[in-house]
Amino acid sequence: MEKNVTALEPSAEAVPGDAVPTDRDPAAKQIPPAAVARMTLYLRALNSLLGEGVERVSSEALAEASGVSSSTLRKDLSYVGSYGTRGVGYEVQYLSRHIAAALGLTHDWKVAIVGAGNLGKALARYGGFESRGFDVVAILDADPMIIGNEVGWLRVSNAANLEVVLKRTGANMVVLALPAAVAQDVCDRVINAGIRSILSFAPVLLQVPPHVNLRKVDMATELQILAYHAQRAQTPGQAV
Amino acid sequence: MEKNVTALEPSAEAVPGDAVPTDRDPAAKQIPPAAVARMTLYLRALNSLLGEGVERVSSEALAEASGVSSSTLRKDLSYVGSYGTRGVGYEVQYLSRHIAAALGLTHDWKVAIVGAGNLGKALARYGGFESRGFDVVAILDADPMIIGNEVGWLRVSNAANLEVVLKRTGANMVVLALPAAVAQDVCDRVINAGIRSILSFAPVLLQVPPHVNLRKVDMATELQILAYHAQRAQTPGQAV
DNA sequence: GGATGTGAAAAGATTCACAGCT
DNA sequence: AGCTGTGAATCTTTTCACATCC
């Protein structure tokens, strides 16, 4: 049972802009951020079970398959509803559908990848996307040597036409796989083009307006966190 | 390893005035996980400032450059020591060094990347590693078509010789850039070879013993979290 | 004056334990 | 009996506010 490092980093901090709300805030049940992050794990585990033909699962078993405690699992599920049967467990497909719905995965999202270097290409070809409701509809780059190349079944578009390509393809999410130096610039353009969901792999802090949702992944950060723990573990019983 | 039972009770008659936090005594107490994650942001911001020739910075400014609140920043820094000057701020280089020391980045870490697909190659060439104390010493793959290829200044080793390569190169961290299907298998071998710090990009739950530190990055997860927020923003107060 | 460092309060997340349903 | 769903307790993280020091 793993319980060591926090798995998912909540990079999205509390949106500070929800003062000035409309006169009626529906106050719909919102799911705590930590729970949202774990929902994706449940979904993955459920789909895996589904593939194995398993029809029912207990909170205990699903928790184990997701790498969380069963009480955390049950609490998380309680945020989206009561989809289990007491004394029995959860129906895999039924639960999977409901979690997917809660996460907004009922329709496909169209993703454009900006940056067709190794990382961009890796992302474009990454099979895990389509199978989980994400459709890579475009990949762009600014390098003339790269524009026009085939990546999977796509052709690299010219990043100069960013706005046009986003519009034509109907992309509603963008992945930034760019060097730090140009990331903010492209990010601004993407936002101006109306995109409000961005996943950035650029190792730099991006400034975005409050209505835009930005998540960040940085490999160097992850390694540094590992280094911290490794260093602690390596100093055993040191004198005081 | 179990969670350090926090024996550092701040209560009781804490002797005020001494305690002498010499810089020789860095990892005495443990830093909260959330703070560790942010330290890497401070480090990045500090190094960026350093590059611009800035010598001093206030908590307010550094917080802004890191994307956190100034009170969070100050609290975080207080976990590693008092390296600022009241009324003045922090000396950029001095603080950067101390944070790096607290994270265990004083010596270089040797990273082996398993999987030389697009992602593995992207990681191997990613310039951000060396500059931040991580040295990619090997890249491996099982595909005969890929073994021997050049990636950056490395040559792809045969994953069949995983243990040998890890030993020869002295790697002490491993990045898994593999398909889900083989990830657990390789992970087990890596652990058996003595590695205790692993960063996995495989979209699957890896089982590891407690003494191993595992961090996970999953792009599909990140997109799903974005989808959740996007969906909420798009449906204001929808009936259930 | 001005900004740090830190107790104390508030908010958020996890775990416990058990009531309630099948 | 067995397992879910959930209030209450515990633990963690963030924010506040101000004493402290340059």
Residue numbers of the domain that contains B136: 109-222
Q: What pLDDT is attached to residue B234?
A: 78
Mean pLDDT of B50-60: 97
Q: What pLDDT is attached to residue A63?
A: 98
Mean pLDDT of B72-91: 97
Q: How far is Cα B42 from Cα A167, in angstroms, rounded to an integer?
A: 37
Residues B93 and B157 in one domain: no
* pLDDT tens track, chain A, 240 positions: 333 333 333 333 333 333 333 333 344 578 999 999 999 999 999 999 999 999 999 999 999 999 999 999 999 999 999 999 999 999 999 999 999 999 999 888 999 999 999 999 999 988 777 677 899 999 999 999 999 999 989 999 999 999 999 999 999 999 999 999 999 999 999 999 999 999 999 999 999 999 999 999 999 999 999 999 999 887 654 443
DSSP, residue by residue, A20-39: S--S------PPPHHHHHHH
Q: What pLDDT is attached to residue A11?
A: 37
Q: Is residue B3 part of a domain?
A: no
Residues B61 and B37 in one domain: yes
Instruction: Output the domain CATH number for residue B90.
Output: 1.10.10.10
Residues A41 and A114 in one domain: no
- pLDDT confidence tier of residue B17, bands split at 50, 70 and 90: very low
Q: What pLDDT is attached to residue A14?
A: 33
Nearest-CA distance A222 → chain B (Å): 7
Could you say which nucleotides of strand C lie within 7 A of any protein CB atom?
A: 1-8, 12-17, 20-22
Could you say which nucleotides of strand D lie within 7 A of any protein CB atom?
A: 1-7, 12-17, 20-22
Query: Chain A residues with CB inside 8 Å of B226's CB?
Result: 173, 197-199, 213, 215
Overall number of domains in chain A? 2
Instruction: With H, G, I as helix, E, B as strand and everything else as coil, classify residue B55.
Output: coil
Residues A165 and A186 in one domain: yes
Residues A113 and A85 in one domain: no
Q: What pLDDT is attached to residue A240?
A: 38
Residues B213 and B150 in one domain: yes
Query: Chain B residues with CB inside 8 Å of A226's CB?
Result: 173, 197-199, 213, 215
B interface test, pick of A176, A216, A218, A228 with most B CB neighbours within 10 Å? A228
pTM score, whole prediction: 0.88
Structure tokens belonging to residue A25:
């805030």
Structure tokens belonging to residue A230:
């490794």
Q: What pLDDT is attached to residue A128?
A: 73
Residues A124 and A138 in one domain: yes
Helix crossing, A59-66 with A70-80: angle to 10°?
100
Residues B93 and B114 in one domain: no
Helix crossing, B33-51 with B70-80: angle to 10°?
100
- pLDDT confidence tier of residue B24, bands split at 50, 70 and 90: very low
SS (H, E, C) B73-142: HHHHHHHHCCCEECCCEEEHHHHHHHHHHHHCCCCCEEEEEECCCHHHHHHHHCCCCHHHCEEEEEEEEC
The b/e string for B91-117 (b: 16+ C-beta within 10 A; e otherwise) is: bbebbbbbbbbbbbbeeebbbbbbbbb
Measured CA to C1', the nucleotide nearest A38 is: C13
Residues B87 and B128 in one domain: no
Residues B142 and B206 in one domain: yes
Residues B67 and B121 in one domain: no
Q: Is residue A167 part of a domain?
A: yes
Residues A119 and A136 in one domain: yes
Measured CA to C1', the nucleotide nearest B89 is: C3
Q: Is residue B170 part of a domain?
A: yes
Q: What pLDDT is attached to residue B236?
A: 58
B107 touches strand D (CB under 7 A): no
Q: Is residue A3 part of a domain?
A: no
Structure tokens belonging to residue A127:
């099979």
Q: What pLDDT is attached to residue A28?
A: 57
Q: Is residue B1 part of a domain?
A: no
